[in-house]
Amino acid sequence: EAGVAQSPRYKIIEKRQSVAFWCNPISGHATLYWYQQILGQGPKLLIQFQNNGVVDDSQLPKDRFSAERLKGVDSTLKIQPAKLEDSAVYLCASSPRGWPQETQYFGPGTRLLVL
């Protein structure tokens, strides 16, 4: 079974530029998560989708971050404009139904550096 796929793996941009990350969850998983992991910190949930609907985006900086999950499969996370403090690893995860007893399966992450 293929795991969670993410691209690109690395991205370097200048501040105020825009950037987009892509995630393909495990086939059949209804729930998709985007996390931000700043160096030396644990991952922080940015947004959670159930199929193509948003369940929780309370920690998403909505003035600059946006995310969508069209057709309830792939997802993109966009930052526009980027700030220096957005430098982090962006992790995508998925789970079958989003139930609390389920394990979340993580992708390798996209490492973003904002200069």
Partner 1 sequence: KQEVTQIPAALSVPEGENLVLNCSFTDSAIYNLQWFRQDPGKGLTSLLLIQSSQREQTSGRLNASLDKSSGRSTLYIAASQPGDSATYLCAVMNSGGSNYKLTFGKGTLLTVNP
- Minimum CB separation from partner 1 for residue 14, in Å? 23
What is the nearest approach in angstroms of partner 1 to the Cβ of residue 50?
8
Point out which span in 13-21, 55-63, 64-72, 74-82 binds partner 1 (CB under 8 A): 55-63
Terminal-to-terminal C-alpha distance of the chain: 37
Least distance in angstroms from the C-beta of 96 to partner 1: 13
Rounded Cα distance between 63 and 35, Å, is 17
Q: Is 27 in the site for partner 1 (CB under 8 A)?
A: no
> Alpha-carbon distance 51 to 84, whole Å?
32
**Considering the rule CB under 8 A, would residue 58 count as an interface residue with partner 1?**
yes
- Contact set for partner 1, span 88-107 (CB under 8 A): 91, 93, 98-101, 103-107
What letter would DSSP give residue 16?
T
Q: Map residues 31-50 to x or -, x wherever contact with partner 1 holds by CB under 8 A.
A: ---------xxxxxx--x-x
